[in-house]
Structures are given as C-alpha cells and as structure tokens.
C-alpha cells in the first residue's frame, strides 16, 4: 500500500495540505511545533480514524474547525487505486468512505492501510503493560489471518458476558456453562492464531535484530494467558472461586503476553534504553516483513523524531532496514542533517520542509 496523494484539513496547526508523497522514502524536517508530528497523525487518522496522541479526537481537530478530514488515493498491491476519505467532527462522529461507499467498521478501514508507528511512545512496548504487547501481537495476527477478527470478537463478547455473570450475587449455572463453552472455543482459536503468528515472527525478528545490534541471548516467547499444560476448561473450573471473588475472569487470552528476555532476565531490566529502542524497531520491522511475505502487502512506516531517538550509527542501520523493506516511509526530524542517510540511488526519496503548518517539497531524488 502506498499513498499517492493525500490532503488534510482541520488537523492541529496544518494549513490545508495537499501533497503527492514518494512511494518510498519521505523525509520531513522543520522546527519544533511546525507540524511534523501532526502530519504523521493525519496519516494515522486516515488509516485508523483516530489519533496516536490522544484517545479523544477533540484535541486533534484544529481550533475553530468543526471537523478533521483526510482524503487520500492509495495504490494497492494489485495495481488498483483506492480513494479513502475519513472525517470526524467534534462529537467524534466518524464518516469513512472507501471508493465512494460508506464503511461502518473501523476494522475494515484498518485492513486497507496497515500502519506501523515508531515514536517515543512505541518504546513502551517493552516496559509497558502486557496490553501494549498484546496490541502489537494482535496487529500482526489481524493483518495476516483474516479469520482472527471473528474469533477475537467472540472471545471478547463471551469474556464480557462471563464477567458480568461472575458479578451477580447468585450465579446462574446454566448460563455460566453456556458462556464457558463459548469462551473456551473462541479463546482456543485466538490462542492458536497468536501461536502460529509468533512461530512465524520469531525467525524474522531474530534476523532483523541481528542487522541492527548483536544481542544473541535475547529471546522472544509467548505466554498464552493460562497454564500451557492444561485445557482452558480445566483451568476455568479450578479458578471459578477466585474469579467470583475478583468479579472477573483470570485465565484466558486477555492475560496473554510476549516475553522478551536476555538469558533468564527481563529485557527491560538489563538492556540500555538505546538497546531497548532497537529491539522495538526490530519487532516492528519484522512485522512488516512478515506481512509482505505472507500477504504481499506492504505497510506504511511512520517514524517520528528519528534524530532525537537514536544515535547516528543506529539511525543508519534503521534507515537501511526501512529501505530494504521497500515500503513507503515517512520520517521526521528537526534538522535535515539528522535525516541524512546514503539512500540507494534508485530509491525515490522526497524531502519536505514543514513550517508553521505549511508543508512544501524541498527536494526529490527519483
């Protein structure tokens, strides 16, 4: 997927922007507060109808505007073109149109434009809660296995129903049995799809990481959310008492996690901040490779504030990996120099200058 044309109105300080990015590397430079992150936010909004800076849409909508609107023409891997328009008003009501037709489901929108974000927040992947890692994992499964959404929704719904029953004073055993069955069926499918995905991701991740940094003792493993040796049905019946006391279900995919260790220790406890960042970049790039290999689909990478995050040698290594992925990349930095990298002469690179919300093409090599 590549953005051929994008126009943005009503997002933060961006003066209505219309531009044709390079299908490969796009470098955006400008002072602090000029609108670089806002432009990446606009692409994120196009792909997911929400911001990555806030869960609320209000702060993203430009002051004195009623709505944020992003329109784009996207080239698909099959050579077609998709016209996508996403808007949201101050009441957070969304309008999504793909080739002129209204779409209701965010999942359907997200499938069109797989997006990876590398910014200071994404480094929480290692140190943050398991939820962040589950989101990372499920992003991958969602994009390579189309049945995942169906099972994930059934699992979420049965979990909700089961938790609500657990909170009742008197448990209706028959209803509980019905929801237990549904919960186990859906959970086992979700778990299986996650396991299959991790099995495929691991070698790609190891290979990607080795191109960035040598960490031979680093391992990635998956915890499914309940005892590996037991069936979920058995675990559920033995935890019933405790689940009732807590008022929610303990075992299940809602407790799954990815574990990154160096030897026996948690990676966050032993790796330097810089090393952690590279591990996160390798995880995200590995997902892009896997998506390209299994679905012939390329995701779009948004890399915010590259210069501030990595020192020059690692910046180069990351740029090389992004270039090898052959996907569309948007990289921001305050200084054009921080974005300098010896791109291959055949790689189309466009440079944009961002100033007071205006974005102007300042250079191109094609």
For ligand ADP, the binding residues (CB under 6 A) are 12-13, 30, 32-38, 59, 61-63, 354
**Alpha carbon of residue 34 to chain centroid:** 25
**From the list Mg ion, ligand ADP, none, partner contacted by residue 288 (C-beta under 5 to 8 A by kind):** none
**From the list ligand ADP, Mg ion, none, partner contacted by residue 55 (C-beta under 5 to 8 A by kind):** none
Nearer to ligand ADP, 115 or 290 (CB): 115
Nearer to Mg ion, 1 or 306 (CB): 306
Minimum gap (Å) between residue 34 Cβ and ligand ADP: 4
Nearer to Mg ion, 41 or 138 (CB): 41
**From the list Mg ion, ligand ADP, none, partner contacted by residue 30 (C-beta under 5 to 8 A by kind):** ligand ADP
In the DSSP assignment, the letter for residue 223 is: E
Counts of helices then strands in the chain (DSSP H, E): 11, 15
Nearer to ligand ADP, 48 or 75 (CB): 48
Structure tokens at 212: 């960035």
| Calpha distance 151→183 (Å, rounded) | 10
Minimum gap (Å) between residue 348 Cβ and ligand ADP: 24
| Calpha distance 14→330 (Å, rounded) | 16
**From the list Mg ion, ligand ADP, none, partner contacted by residue 241 (C-beta under 5 to 8 A by kind):** none
| Calpha distance 104→354 (Å, rounded) | 34
DSSP string, 142-189: HHH-TTHHHHHHHHHHHHHHHHHHHTSSS--HHHHHHHHHHHHHHHHH
| Calpha distance 317→149 (Å, rounded) | 35
- Rg of the chain over CA atoms, in angstroms? 22
| Calpha distance 324→344 (Å, rounded) | 10
Nearer to ligand ADP, 12 or 143 (CB): 12
The residues that touch Mg ion, with contacts defined as CB under 5 A, are 37
Nearer to ligand ADP, 253 or 357 (CB): 357
Minimum gap (Å) between residue 5 Cβ and ligand ADP: 21
In the DSSP assignment, the letter for residue 221 is: E
**From the list Mg ion, ligand ADP, none, partner contacted by residue 38 (C-beta under 5 to 8 A by kind):** ligand ADP
Nearer to ligand ADP, 54 or 221 (CB): 54
Minimum gap (Å) between residue 145 Cβ and ligand ADP: 35
Minimum gap (Å) between residue 90 Cβ and ligand ADP: 11
| Calpha distance 366→364 (Å, rounded) | 6
Helix (H, G, I), strand (E, B), or coil: what is residue 332? strand
Minimum gap (Å) between residue 248 Cβ and Mg ion: 38
φ, ψ of residue 301 to 5 degrees: the values are -105, 130
**From the list ligand ADP, Mg ion, none, partner contacted by residue 63 (C-beta under 5 to 8 A by kind):** ligand ADP
Minimum gap (Å) between residue 157 Cβ and ligand ADP: 35
**From the list Mg ion, ligand ADP, none, partner contacted by residue 33 (C-beta under 5 to 8 A by kind):** ligand ADP
């Amino acid at each position: 997927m590549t953005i051929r044309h994008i126009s943005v109105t009503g997002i933060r300080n961006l003066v209505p922007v219309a531009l044709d990015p390079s299908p490969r590397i796009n470098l955006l430079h400008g002072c602090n507060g000029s609108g670089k992150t806002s432009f990446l936010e606009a692409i994120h909004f196009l792909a997911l109808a929400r911001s990555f800076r806030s869960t609320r849409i209000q702060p993203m909508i430009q002051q004195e505007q009623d709505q944020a609107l992003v329109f784009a023409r996207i080239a698909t891997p099959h050579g077609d073109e998709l016209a996508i328009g996403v808007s949201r008003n101050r009441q957070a009501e969304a309008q999504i149109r793909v080739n002129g037709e209204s779409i209701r489901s965010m999942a359907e929108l997200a499938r069109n434009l797989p997006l990876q974000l590398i910014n200071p927040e994404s480094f929480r992947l290692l140190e943050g809660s398991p939820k962040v890692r589950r989101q990372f994992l499920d992003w991958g499964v969602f994009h390579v296995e189309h049945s995942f959404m169906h099972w994930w929704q059934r699992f979420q719904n049965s979990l909700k129903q089961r938790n609500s029953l657990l909170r009742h004073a008197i448990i209706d055993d028959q209803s509980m049995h019905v929801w237990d069955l549904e919960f186990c069926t859906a959970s086992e499918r979700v778990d299986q799809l996650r396991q299959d995905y991790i099995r495929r991701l691991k070698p790609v991740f190891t290979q990607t990481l080795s191109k960035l940094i040598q960490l031979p003792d680093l391992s990635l493993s998956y915890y499914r959310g309940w005892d590996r040796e037991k069936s979920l049905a058995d675990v559920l019946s033995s935890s019933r008492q405790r689940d009732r006391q807590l008022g929610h279900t303990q075992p299940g995919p809602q407790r799954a996690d990815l574990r990154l260790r160096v030897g026996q220790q948690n990676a966050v406890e032993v790796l330097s901040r810089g090393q952690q960042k590279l591990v996160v970049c390798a995880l995200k790039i590995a997902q892009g490779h896997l998506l390209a290999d299994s679905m012939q689909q390329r995701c779009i990478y948004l890399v915010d504030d590259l210069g501030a995050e990595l020192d020059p040698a690692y910046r180069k290594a990351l740029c090389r990996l992004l270039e090898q992925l052959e996907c569309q990349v948007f990289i921001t930095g305050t200084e054009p120099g921080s974005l300098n990298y010896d791109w291959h002469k055949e790689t189309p690179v466009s440079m944009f200058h961002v100033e007071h919300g205006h974005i102007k093409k300042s250079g191109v090599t094609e």
